[in-house]
Amino acid sequence: MITRITSKDNPALKHFRQLQVRKYRQRHGEFVLEGPVVIREALEQGTRMSMALCTDDFRETKEGRALIRQVEEEGVPLYCTEEGLFASAAGTQTPQGILAAARIPVWDRELLEEPGSCFLVLDRVQDPGNIGTMVRTAEAAGFRGIIAVKGTADLYSGKVSRAAVGGLLRLPVFYCDSGEALLEELKPLGKKILCTDPRSNLAYYDAPMAEDIALVIGNEAGGISPELLEGADLSVGIPMEGRTESLNAAVSAGILMYESLRQRRIR
């Protein structure tokens, strides 16, 4: 059964608007999934959802009718409303017609102990687009999960979630309070801390990074924190020609993660 919303003060709309704010995502333990592709995948994976919201127009499309049937079959409360009210809940300029409030996954830290597994470490990275792109790339390159050091932007914000295109449903996310805490946890597990450093004479493609790597990507403006640089097992550079001084964080991460994948496949 679909419940139609006509008031901006409706509790369901209020809930979606709250989930655009980090403190409410943390309070409710939920984040917003947007768009039919991601929501369909979430349903197929058995992701828990507390409610879904669609526009009147989306409800009338062939794709919308099929997805709504899936939502209803899973027993997820479904609401519909007109475009203006929907846009206020979506928080985007070009909404995709359907939203869902999904549980933020909680992952077992024992996954960090998995022999040979590689992880991407985000050290106070701030740009949501960069983070979302790195989540997608990490999954594609066979990395086992993401570790976010305190000061990193919220991985479950709308902007990151949209850029990750479903990656946050599948890739484990862990948190560390500091660089020191990260070193203390990962080094006893046999993980090698790998940092990029423009001063390094070791090119990334000459460094062993096939397995047990914790690849650190630093803050866009400030780079990697001193404690992680000092505690790194490997510091590598990305050779560049021309006058470019640095690469985008997500581009650097992609180059290194795919080098790790290349080395694993050779093995």
pTM higher than 0.85: yes
The DSSP bridge partners found for residue 213 are: 192
Its CATH class, for the domain covering 2-103, is: alpha beta
Helices (H), ranges, 179-248: 179-186, 226-231
Phi then psi for residue 122, to 5 deg, are: -100, 110
Architecture of domain 109-266: 3-Layer(aba) Sandwich (3.40)
CA–CA distance, 108 with 261 (Å, rounded to integer): 24
pLDDT of residue 21: 95
pLDDT of residue 93: 77
Residue 265 neighbours by CB distance under 10 Å: 9
Each residue's pLDDT, cut to its tens digit, for the chain (267 residues) gives 899 999 999 999 999 999 999 999 999 999 999 999 999 999 999 999 999 999 999 999 999 999 999 999 999 999 999 999 999 999 777 889 999 999 999 999 999 999 999 999 999 999 999 999 999 999 999 999 999 999 999 999 999 998 998 899 999 999 999 999 999 999 999 999 999 988 899 999 999 999 999 999 999 989 999 999 999 999 999 999 888 878 999 999 999 999 999 999 998
The DSSP bridge partners found for residue 195 are: 216, 235
pLDDT of residue 26: 95
Sorted by where each begins, the domain ranges of the chain are 2-103, 109-266
pLDDT of residue 267: 80
CA–CA distance, 51 with 28 (Å, rounded to integer): 13
pLDDT of residue 183: 97
CA–CA distance, 253 with 239 (Å, rounded to integer): 14
194-230 pLDDT per residue, tens: 999 888 999 999 999 999 999 999 999 899 999 999 9
Phi-psi region of 42 (alpha: psi -120 to 50; beta: other; left: phi over 0): alpha
pLDDT of residue 95: 86
b/e per residue, 97-126, with b = 16+ CB within 10 A? Answer: bbbbbbeebeeeeeebeeeebbbbbbbbbe
Strand order in the sheet with 30-34: 2-4, 78-81, 49-55, 98-103, 30-34
